[in-house]
Amino acid sequence: MPGCNIVLIGASTGGLKILEQLFPELPVLKAAVVVVQHITPLVDQSFASSLARVSRMPVSLAKEGQHLQAGQVFLAPGGVHLLLAGNRSFHFSSAEKVNSVRPSIDVAMKSVLAPIGTRIAGVVLTGMGCDGAAGIAHIKQIGGITIAQDQKTSVIYGMPKAAAETGKVDFVLSTDKIAVKLRELFG
């Protein structure tokens, strides 16, 4: 039996601003939306609350062992790596930082398995560095759809640029066009 569709979004510097622009434009998607934001444990709950105020979908911090559900947004808690166990539930790891961060977008994206009867999309938004580039390449390799934010709408164009430079990004889009594409794919 297939699981649910998954949209995995990675963001860092400027992420809250961009996500607060993106989420009001999204209907309740036929996918579980997993957000990996470079964040600390001290601010993760307030970050989730800020997103919940602008989202049509319920937003919560992901919990160990919790199952993904379509039409819901799950935020990776600060200070731990989030992994998707069998594309169905969350598992956390306090392994070493990857790309100098924990949670790492690459760790989450690389934990995704090839979709069977479902659709997977990876999205890399604003941020410094290259976290998300290896993850985007992995998602493309297993048959997923890959999106990077464009330079014009990024607060910092490091991570989306690194993702685009892998040659594995299907769409480089502005924030509003990312919302349009996600509605097309999962609306």
Q: What is the CATH number of the domain that holds 167?
A: 3.40.50.180
Residues 118-123, mean pLDDT to the nearest whole number: 97
Quote the tokens at residue 180. Answer: 């349009």
pLDDT value of residue 3: 81
For residue 71, is it within any domain?
yes
Q: Which domain holds residue 173?
A: 6-186
For residue 149, is it within any domain?
yes
For residue 1, is it within any domain?
no
- Per-residue pLDDT tens digits for 73-82: 999 999 999 9
Quote the tokens at residue 174. Answer: 């502005």
**How large a percentage of the chain has pLDDT more than 70?**
99
* Mean pLDDT (the chain, rounded): 97
pLDDT value of residue 23: 97
81 is catalytic: no
For residue 127, is it within any domain?
yes
Among the options 81, 131, 138, 154, which is catalytic? 131
Tell me how crowded residue 44 is: count the other CB atoms within 10 A of its CB.
20
Residues 62-72, mean pLDDT to the nearest whole number: 98
Looking at this protein, which amino acid is placed at residue 45?
Q
131 is catalytic: yes
For residue 54, is it within any domain?
yes
Question: Using omega within 30 degrees of 0 as the cis cutoff, is the peptide bond preceding 103 cis?
Answer: yes
**How large a percentage of the chain has pLDDT more than 90?**
97
Quote the tokens at residue 128. Answer: 């410094």
Among the options 38, 44, 111, 138, which is catalytic? 38
pTM above 0.85, yes or no: yes
12 is catalytic: yes
For residue 179, is it within any domain?
yes
Number of domains observed in the structure of the chain: 1
For residue 65, is it within any domain?
yes
pLDDT value of residue 2: 65
For residue 144, is it within any domain?
yes
